[in-house]
């Protein structure tokens, strides 16, 4: 189990959205590079970066992501706006360890399968769902796919793991959606990283103890760190099991 702190980027700043709503964003830090360094100093072995501008097709934060990659030694995974082979090449060239395919995976799974064949085991699925339907394009559009359908496709094409987000929980500090995250792990047979709703130390305890052997491999946390509801160093020391070289 890895504790994975999150950096969501809009206009080069660290932000958090409320239920994926771009009109309800809060800026927490204007220096995401320093934020990443603090996360690593606290013991983070992996950092989760989402380029929210790129996710909805409104520019990108690739220069910032590159600076983060150059500033930390831990594993860096990033998603948002990865839709072309050139996007993949750019991120591979700057040393990103894992790429999260979301919109493109839902719309063009064969393209992602081709990337896996060409580039190797870099790719994580980003399954972001509301009421069981996968949302795309920065969560602003429906896909017509169920989260279960897409989870099964992931296993078939060689995706190495899944980040599962219940959009209704994201940024709400209302507790994680453990039930549906476990369901996605069971349906896909892949390691699943839980995202959305983490609010306190007890949430980590419930995932690590109540969901033991469930297929949940990691927990992403963002807003709870920025608002001081959890101490990242403490929860890593208490709940993290694993290592940098995790294959997923």
Q: Is 8 a catalytic residue?
A: yes
Which of these is catalytic: 51, 53, 128, 170? 128
Evaluate the CA torsion angle 118, 78, 201, 135 in order and state its sign.
negative
* Structure tokens that stand for 21 in this block: 């709503």
Which of these is catalytic: 8, 51, 53, 203? 8
Evaluate the CA torsion angle 200, 204, 209, 212 in order and state its sign.
positive
DSSP conformation class of 247: -
What 3-state DSSP class applies to 235?
helix
Cα–Cα–Cα angle for 28, 53, 105, rounded to 5 degrees: 120
Q: Is 128 a catalytic residue?
A: yes
- Which residue is associated with the tokens 């359908």? 149
Which residues are designated catalytic? 8, 128
């Amino acid at each position: 189990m890895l504790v994975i702190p999150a950096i969501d980027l809009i206009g080069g700043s660290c932000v958090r959205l409320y239920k994926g709503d771009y009109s309800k964003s809060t800026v927490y830090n204007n220096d995401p590079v320093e934020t990443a360094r603090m996360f690593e100093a606290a013991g983070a072995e992996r950092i989760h970066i989402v380029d929210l501008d790129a996710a909805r097709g409104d520019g990108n934060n690739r220069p910032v992501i590159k600076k983060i990659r150059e500033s930390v030694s831990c594993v860096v995974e990033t998603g948002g706006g990865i839709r072309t082979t050139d996007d993949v090449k750019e991120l591979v060239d700057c040393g990103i360890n894992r790429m999260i395919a979301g919109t493109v995976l839902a719309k063009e799974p064969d393209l992602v399968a081709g990337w896996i064949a060409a580039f190797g085991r870099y790719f994580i699925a980003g399954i972001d769902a509301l009421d069981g339907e996968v949302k795309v394009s920065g969560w602003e559009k429906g896909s017509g796919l169920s989260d279960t359908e897409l989870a099964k496709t992931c296993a078939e094409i060689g995706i190495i793991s899944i980040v599962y987000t219940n959009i209704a929980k994201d940024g709400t500090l209302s507790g994680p959606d453990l039930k549906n995250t476990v369901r996605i792990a069971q349906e896909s047979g892949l390691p699943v990283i839980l995202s959305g709703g983490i609010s306190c130390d007890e949430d980590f305890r419930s995932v690590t103890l109540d969901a033991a052997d469930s297929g949940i491999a990691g927990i992403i946390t963002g807003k709870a760190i920025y608002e001081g509801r959890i101490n990242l160093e403490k929860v890593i020391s208490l709940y993290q099991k694993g290592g940098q070289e995790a294959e997923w």
